[in-house]
Amino acid sequence: MMSVANNTVTRVNYTGRYENGEVFDTSEGKDPLEFTVGKGQMISGFEEELIGAKPGETREFTLTPDRAYGERNEEAFQVVNRSVFGEGAELKVGLSSYTQLQDGSMTMFTITAIDGDDVTLDFNHVMAGKTLTFTVTVTDVREATDSCGPSCGCN
């Protein structure tokens, strides 16, 4: 029986909670989450905690911000003109979306203030600075191959 290791396609059922116990994400009622270990598809601490787990094994672990989405950066704010969102865009405080950076990568932002035509964007991940607890059950582990199809992320 294979265990979770780098370059394995791993399927898991999981529930993620904030420190106060509130569930922020779960696979309950959905298909298991599938990812290729070591490809950067998951936060690093999540993968590290599952290394060595075998199908059927459940692990519970807590990730501090440095092993999850990082600490909040109070300088990661930018004020832009409303016009950058295009004509008729419905903007409101709390709205999160993605934008493409000059290097082609995508980054998330959240609107934190709107003052006339000035829109303040927070580029911290919405979970930055948060400690997260996960309960994860490994359902399947297999070797990553080039023939496993586009959905597994190993191509």
Complete domains list, the chain, with CATH: 8-69+128-143 (3.10.50.40), 77-122 (2.40.10.330)
Mean pLDDT for the stretch of residues 85-113: 89
What is the separation, in whole angstroms, between the first and last Cα of the chain? 24
Whole-model pTM: value is 0.77
Q: Do 35 and 41 contact (CB within 8 A), yes or no? A: yes
In the chain, what percentage of residues exceed pLDDT 70?
94
Residue 149 pLDDT exceeds 60: no
* Short-list 108, 35, 113, CA closest to 80: 113
In the structure encoding, which two tokens stand for residue 154, read together? Answer: 């190993």
- Name which of 5-14, 23-32, 65-74, 145-154 the model is least confident about: 145-154
